[in-house]
DNA sequence: CCTTTTTCCGTAAACGTTTACGAGAACACA
DNA sequence: TGTGTTCTCGTAAACGTTTACGGAAAAAGG
């Protein structure tokens, strides 16, 4: 079915070596024969067998992104990553690299699957997301010397890998600042229940800002839940049951906010009127919700592009003349004021 | 770095052939040596090189899912697929197959990328989604004899491939029936602007039901937009500007409905009160929106599992004793009544 | 016309597997 | 002892590439 380099060679009556050189744009092949090879390749619909090429070159020319749904996320997944992946793939494609997304089962953090990708050399590098504060995946990768980059920070692995993150700490603080400026002093925070680093950073910023404003931290105003509508719905009533209920709530993401607002509405509390609402990771959903939710919007596609650049720059084989360099960036999160606070 | 089968052989002082046979569970190897090989493999942390294995076996043991954002979908993507992919990957894993997701740029329907996957033998089969009524990807695949299955139907390719789809036609009709029973006669329909087959099927059911109820079809009540919040927001005012405005709107999916409701609210029309709203493809978002949206909920994860089964059953190498069979299924879409109609 | 350089191409090895084939050893059976 | 069978294993080819090496032919230089 698929034509090989041998077919081409036979068809043109030249050796496979020459065909390969012509195809790969090497200098030591006559301009005329090169053209004939190229024509024949098009005519016979030839494209190189990926396995053969990878085997010989010792590289797969692809990058793997490890994707897994969260626990508690049986129904619908996280749309967050699609634009990120779009940017990532676009930039990788410029260097001739393919992006493959490796799926896992919900909730498993893919240590096993990651091993398989690395050990069977399915990809030349991997990109990790949902970084945890201490992340065994990162430990494994640094220790095995496999190239990788992360969307999100972690304390694991030191400075040995490129990472790109959003400034959740500042966003948490900014949200508090804004709410305090509008007269709130009882401010709740709803976080993901997992040990995800951005949940930690967000809370750190939140606490720091509270302290700055001389407001005492109240554990009753903090709640953790699944990162989806159901999580927000389940957990929001908890903070409202405080002896001194909050007048404002900061949600870690849009889906949790949606569920939380539903829970509020069901007890007759109007989000945006009776209780102010701010969302840390904003999506179009926030914009079209009623009331439109104030939030911090990340530039996901540019982030994908940038992380691709950073990853490539960290790999000697792809880094340019100035050699491999590891960079870590934290991007600002800009507040977009709407109607909910 | 990575140990090869040669390392194992050298370490054990036996031939690579024996090592391979031991690892692959062939009969003609002494139980004792097999155990020694297995132990050594674990100790040296051996796992077979994927490229070498694929090259020799002529199979990659992986299935590719082609994913691309829609045009107009710059910001956030379609969460629809995550649970589907979860089911797909789980079932494939049972047969030792990996699922890889191949990303494309927004809007391109991946004809080129699909070619690459097929021609470079990156996967043994592919799964397509967002099938169009006439789909050149399907033409290409059937013609090239490459194994594939589709989520969604198409008129292309005949009965040569397994497909799994939802009964959008019935859902469209059911939605109309329900609205007519509640006294509506001016019913609008908002569809995706692309030539996606489910948009067509939905409208076919809609028109059939209208006819059954003796209601004349009015093109002014039909509008097409991007499959996201912005699309619904942009396009809903159009149908409302009809001389005889609709008293009910059927949206093709949740994101469009969200945008549409926003547009309604901005002109003082309360969705669920002044205008009834039904969503064809329901998500948790519908459940947590206010008002909670009536809609039809698909069982995405089971669909993923089932399509994996169907795909494998259609490939001789994976089909069981009874041989390869091609099946096509259309699953019912069950209406879940909530507060919006 | 001879030497040197350049241009172009063929040969063959290598990447890491799997597997068809055959052969030696052990064993059974007569 | 001779023959056949069964276990086990080594040998080597093959999958489709890329590339180091060398050599023939052509061109350049004298």
Low-confidence ranges of chain A (pLDDT < 70): 1, 71-79, 109
Between residue 42 and residue 61 of chain A, the positions with Cβ below 7 Å from nucleic chain D are 46-49, 51-53, 55-57
By C1' distance from the Cα of B56, the closest nucleotide is D15
Burial state string for B71-90 with b = 16 or more CB within 10 A and e = fewer than 16: ebbbbbbbbbbbbbbbbbbb
pLDDT band at B105 (very low <50, low <70, confident <90, very high): confident
The tokens for A107 are 């909730």
The tokens for A338 are 């709407």
pLDDT greater at residue B229 or residue B248: B248
By C1' distance from the Cα of A9, the closest nucleotide is C10
Q: Using CB atoms, pick whichever of A48, A74, A100 lies closest to residue B120.
A: A48
> Using the CB atom, is residue B58 less than 7 Å from strand D?
yes
By C1' distance from the Cα of B7, the closest nucleotide is C16
> Using the CB atom, is residue A106 less than 7 Å from strand D?
no
Q: What percent of chain B has pLDDT over 90?
A: 73
Q: Is A93 exposed, middle or buried (0-12, 13-18, 19+ CB in 10 A)?
A: middle
Cβ separation of B80 and A81 shorter than 8 Å?
Answer: no
* Closest-CA distance of chain B to residue A209, Å: 30
Average pLDDT of every residue of chain B: 92
The predicted pLDDT at position A290 comes to 85
Q: Does A262 touch chain B (CB under 8 A)?
A: yes
The predicted pLDDT at position B1 comes to 54
Residues from chain A contacting residue B287 (CB–CB below 8 Å): 229
The predicted pLDDT at position A193 comes to 80
Cβ neighbours, 10 Å, residue B201:
23
The predicted pLDDT at position B86 comes to 87
- First-residue to last-residue Cα distance in chain B: 63
Q: What is the pTM of this model?
A: 0.91
Pairing of strands A276-281, A294-297: parallel
The predicted pLDDT at position A1 comes to 54
Separation between the CA of B4 and the C1’ of C27 (whole angstroms): 36
Stretch among A204-208, B158-162, B251-255 having the lowest mean pLDDT: B251-255
pLDDT over threshold 90, residue B113: no
Separation between the CA of A236 and the C1’ of C30 (whole angstroms): 88
Mean pLDDT (whole number) for B92-102: 88
pLDDT band at B283 (very low <50, low <70, confident <90, very high): confident
Cβ separation of A101 and B101 shorter than 8 Å?
Answer: yes
Cβ separation of A104 and B89 shorter than 8 Å?
Answer: yes
> Using the CB atom, is residue B30 less than 7 Å from strand D?
yes
Closest residue in B to A90 (Cα) is: B105
Mean pLDDT (whole number) for B231-246: 96
Mean pLDDT (whole number) for B183-192: 96
Which nucleotides of chain C does any protein CB come within 7 A of? Answer: 7-12, 14-20, 22
Mean pLDDT (whole number) for B258-278: 96
pLDDT greater at residue B101 or residue B146: B146
Gyration radius of chain A's alpha carbons: 25
pLDDT tens, residue by residue, B207-225? 999 999 999 999 999 999 9
pLDDT tens, residue by residue, B67-78? 877 766 555 556
Stretch among A109-123, B121-135, B273-287 having the lowest mean pLDDT: A109-123
Q: Using CB atoms, pick whichever of A80, A98, A103 lies closest to residue B99.
A: A103
Interface A-B: count of C-beta contacts within 8 A: 185
pLDDT tens, residue by residue, A74-104? 555 566 788 898 899 999 989 989 888 888 7
Are A188 and A215 a contacting pair, CB within 8 Å? no
Residues from chain A contacting residue B78 (CB–CB below 8 Å): 79, 82
Best of B4, B79, B286 to disrupt the A interface by mutation (most A CBs within 10 Å)?
Answer: B79
Which residue do the tokens 């954002």 mark?
Answer: B69
Cβ neighbours, 10 Å, residue A323:
8
Residues from chain A contacting residue B48 (CB–CB below 8 Å): 120
pLDDT tens, residue by residue, A183-205? 999 999 999 987 889 999 999 99
The predicted pLDDT at position B111 comes to 87
């Amino acid at each position: 079915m698929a034509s090989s380099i041998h077919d081409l060679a036979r068809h043109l009556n030249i050796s496979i070596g020459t065909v390969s050189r012509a195809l790969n744009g090497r200098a030591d092949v006559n301009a005329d024969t090169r053209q004939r090879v190229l024509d024949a390749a098009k005519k016979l619909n030839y494209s190189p067998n990926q396995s053969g090429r990878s085997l010989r070159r010792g590289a797969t020319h692809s990058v793997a992104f490890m994707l897994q749904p969260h626990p508690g996320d049986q129904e619908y997944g996280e749309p967050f990553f699609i634009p990120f992946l779009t940017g990532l793939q676009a930039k990788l494609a410029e260097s001739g690299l393919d992006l493959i997304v490796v799926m896992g089962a919900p909730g498993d953090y893919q240590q096993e699957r990651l091993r398989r990708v690395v050990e069977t050399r399915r990809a030349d590098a991997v990109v990790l997301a949902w970084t945890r504060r201490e992340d065994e995946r990162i430990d494994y990768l640094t220790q095995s010397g496999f190239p990788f980059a992360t969307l999100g920070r972690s304390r694991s692995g030191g400075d040995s890998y490129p990472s790109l993150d959003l400034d959740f700490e500042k966003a948490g603080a900014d949200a508090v600042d804004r709410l305090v400026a509008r007269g709130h002093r009882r401010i709740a925070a709803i976080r993901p229940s997992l040990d995800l680093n951005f949940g930690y950073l967000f809370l750190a910023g939140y606490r720091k800002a509270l302290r700055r404003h001389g407001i005492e931290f109240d554990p009753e105003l903090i709640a953790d839940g699944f990162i989806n509508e159901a999580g927000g719905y389940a957990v929001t009533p908890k903070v409202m049951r405080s002896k001194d209920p909050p007048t404002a709530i900061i949600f870690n993401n849009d889906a949790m906010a949606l569920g939380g607002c539903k829970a509020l509405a069901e007890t007759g509390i109007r989000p945006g009127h009776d209780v102010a609402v701010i969302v840390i990771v904003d999506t179009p959903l926030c914009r079209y919700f009623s009331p439109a939710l104030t939030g911090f919007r990340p530039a996901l596609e540019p982030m994908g592009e940038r992380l691709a650049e950073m990853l490539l720059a960290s790999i000697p084989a792809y880094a340019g003349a100035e050699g491999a360099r590891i960079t870590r960036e934290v991007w600002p999160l800009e507040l977009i004021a709407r109607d909910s606070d």
